[in-house]
Structure 1
Amino acid sequence: MFTPEELKKYAQTLWWGLETARTRPYEKGDMVMLRYDLDALPLAEAMFDLLMDKGVIPVPRANLSTEMEKSFYGKGDDRQIETVPPGDKPLMENLNGVISLIAPASLTHLKDVDPARLGKAAVSRKFLREIMEGREQSGDFAWTLCMYPTQALADSASMSLEEYKQEIVNACFLDKEDPEAEWNVIFEQTLKVKQWLNELPIRRIRVKSESTDLVVTPGEKRRWLGVSGHNLPSFEIFTSPDWHGTEGVYYADQPSFRSGNYVKGVRLTFKDGRVVESDAEEGAEFVAKQLAMDEGAPQLGEFSLTDRRFSRIGKFMANTLFDENFGGEYGNCHVAVGASYADTYAGDQSELDQNLKKQLGFNDSALHWDLVNTEPKTVTAELEDGSEVLIYENGEFKHE
């Protein structure tokens, strides 16, 4: 599907992402896990070869196939679903990076599985993510991920496989001679926006569109991040707010495929920081059970905006990695219910322990689910002195 040259560029771009995401350079002998879906094998092989050239130690891991997932979640008892192999913990404690290649062979194969079973598996493995998060805070670890085209993705996005592939090529600058140089330009452009937002003494943010009227409270010691290398492509600028201050209604007009399920038209009503009412045009039961996964699931973990001038994504791609970075005519806003990102803490990362996270309103959950709104909207910031500043309108930041 991809030419050898495109695969090489894609692998080099992923390495740029991993290096950019880590606070200190990689060294020979560092261990990097290469996690991939089976359909992404050609890119996995190109990435493995590059990792060998870099002198790091590749740790390849194939994800479960569609049939394996159906068997695991459909037949497994609680012990089978919740047991974590004994070698996973020490491995995570020693990894220096993870590169994930997403290539789903099916997007709806788990639609008949009780969503609570998916939640049990996620909760039992939450501690592994916490290990990685702690190592990332200390500068020992970083992660990045990307997507590889499959027929299931193309069909769900109403494209041919070749058309879908070309959207990935375009979004990741693989059509350019030097994709890394292109990403460095985006990095510098978004840096200006982040600096502007981080200098504003924002008390509250209000998002208004035809179907959304939501208030988000950034909270103390927060910073805005984006184009950090974690996701490729990534054009969003985001923060993890204080979940306690979330109020109002949020509507996701863009559909979402998650954990083998399809949902559409998700509407969430927040009061005192928590979802008190949820609904969806399709998949309402799945939404409700995801929000019941644990104590933090119905609380906000992320607030994000994408400027249409940065993003080359203009079509629905049936995958959150791309869809949360949608540019189109009006850009997008997305929120994530569930886990927050610790790296949005503006202070010394080494001091951000569980007690401080709780005190500052960083949300804790096994869930992290991005829900995207692409409607024309205004986003206004109320500053500490009571004045208001328009920070985003109709798909563009207002920093200039």
Structure 2
Amino acid sequence: MDTRVRRHAEVLVDQCADVRRGDMVTIRASRQAEALVVALYEALGQRGARPSLSWSLPRATRAYARAMDEADYTTKDHELAAMEETDVVFLIGGGPNAFETSDVPPEMSQAGSRAHKPISEQRLDTRWVITTHPTAAGAQRAGMSTATYEEFVYDAVNKDWAAQSEFQSQLVEILDPAETVHIVSGDTTDITMRVDGMRACNDDGDHNMPAGEVFTAPVPDSVAGEVYFDKPLMRQGNEIRGAALTF
């Protein structure tokens, strides 16, 4: 097994989720992430956890959504019941085609999201982790060779997270007592917001891997200005470019 994959699994199990003996663990992954799933099972077995696996199959999701009647979308009670018994959730991206569900009608995607909402909210009560496995499809979207993309991902995952947390804490110390944040970027982004009373958070690998953010939230109704996003976003099989918001 690639030692980088095994290290990725160890980071997920120890750094992110702090898996303990007897934990009920749910893994949802694409078939292309099989190597990481195997490494996770090995690490979970060494720690005495109890995993279950469900494969993410975008082609099946597409077929179901295009055949479904919108009114028939209801919460899957058996999936909700399983989530209620789950201690840790690992969600692993890295599928073969990011655009697989791009031709699912938006109203069907929205109906599916509404039906899934109780399960998503229940997941927030677990020790949940979202990560990705580097695949050829991901490399293609990034405009990289597969080997270069693998190095890119593993360099972001397999690092000293204690040292990274300490490094990021410097920004937390600046942001936490702040009253106002003013962001200026390029010719289109100039936005201000109040953050007094809001907590600055150090994203050092609790829920996202790779991690590496320091974030907070604005005081409601305090945001003013315009922000432009020059990076694309994938959402439900669709690529969104040129998003802008004016407050």
Common fold: TM-score over 0.5: yes
State the alpha-carbon separation in 1 of the partners of residues 137 and 242 from structure 2: 21
1:13 — aligned with what? 11
1:94 — aligned with what? 85
State the alpha-carbon separation in 1 of the partners of residues 117 and 172 from structure 2: 30
Task: Report the 3-state secondary structure (helix = DSSP H, G, I; strand = E; otherwise coil) of the residue aligned with 2:221.
Answer: helix
How far 1:157 moved relative to its partner? 1.3
Structure 1 residues 79 and 113, CA gap change in structure 2 (3 angstroms):
same
2:62 — aligned with what? 70
1:234 — aligned with what? 211
Task: Report the 3-state secondary structure (helix = DSSP H, G, I; strand = E; otherwise coil) of the residue aligned with 2:77.
Answer: coil
1:213 — aligned with what? 190
State the alpha-carbon separation in 2 of the partners of residues 247 and 76 from structure 1: 42
Structure ranking higher in helix proportion: 2
* Contact 2:28–2:91 under 8 Å retained in 1: yes
State the alpha-carbon separation in 2 of the partners of residues 12 and 114 from structure 1: 39
How far 1:237 moved relative to its partner? 0.5
Gaps (5+ residues) in structure 1?
20-24, 136-140, 174-178, 271-400
Runs of 4+ in 1 over 6 A off after TM superposition: none
**1:196-235 deviation digits (Å, cap 9, x = unpaired):** 322x141x32211122112233353533332142111111
* Contact 2:198–2:219 under 8 Å retained in 1: no
State the alpha-carbon separation in 2 of the partners of residues 95 and 246 from structure 1: 38
Of residues 224, 243, 246, the one that matches 1:266 is 243
Structure 1 residues 255 and 226, CA gap change in structure 2 (3 angstroms):
same
Task: Report the 3-state secondary structure (helix = DSSP H, G, I; strand = E; otherwise coil) of the residue aligned with 1:164.
Answer: helix
* Contact 1:102–1:146 under 8 Å retained in 2: yes
1:120 maps to amino acid: A
**1:281-336 deviation digits (Å, cap 9, x = unpaired):** xxxxxxxxxxxxxxxxxxxxxxxxxxxxxxxxxxxxxxxxxxxxxxxxxxxxxxxx
How far 1:244 moved relative to its partner? 2.6
Q: What pairs with 1:147-186 in structure 2 (closer than 5 Å)?
A: 147-173=132-158, 179=159, 182-186=160-164
1:192 maps to amino acid: Q
**2:223 equivalent to 1:246:** yes
Gaps (5+ residues) in structure 2?
none
How far 1:97 moved relative to its partner? 1.0
* Contact 1:12–1:50 under 8 Å retained in 2: yes
1:70 maps to amino acid: R
* Contact 1:190–1:237 under 8 Å retained in 2: yes
* Contact 1:18–1:99 under 8 Å retained in 2: no
Structure 1 residues 228 and 46, CA gap change in structure 2 (3 angstroms):
closer
Q: What pairs with 1:1-400 in structure 2 (closer than 5 Å)?
A: 3-19=1-17, 26-63=19-56, 65-80=57-72, 82-133=73-124, 135=125, 141-173=126-158, 179=159, 182-198=160-176, 200-202=177-179, 204-210=180-186, 211-218=188-195, 220-270=197-247
Task: Report the 3-state secondary structure (helix = DSSP H, G, I; strand = E; otherwise coil) of the residue aligned with 1:208.
Answer: strand
State the alpha-carbon separation in 1 of the partners of residues 15 and 69 from structure 2: 38
Task: Report the 3-state secondary structure (helix = DSSP H, G, I; strand = E; otherwise coil) of the residue aligned with 2:130.
Answer: strand
Bigger relative contact order (CA 8 A; separation at least 6): 2
State the alpha-carbon separation in 1 of the partners of residues 23 and 4 from structure 2: 26
Aligned residues: 246
How far 1:26 moved relative to its partner? 4.3
State the alpha-carbon separation in 2 of the partners of residues 242 and 130 from structure 1: 23
Q: Percent identity?
A: 24
2:2 maps to amino acid: P
Structure 1 residues 17 and 95, CA gap change in structure 2 (3 angstroms):
same
**1:93-122 deviation digits (Å, cap 9, x = unpaired):** 221111111112111222222223212211
TM-score (norm 2): 0.90
Structure 1 residues 26 and 256, CA gap change in structure 2 (3 angstroms):
closer
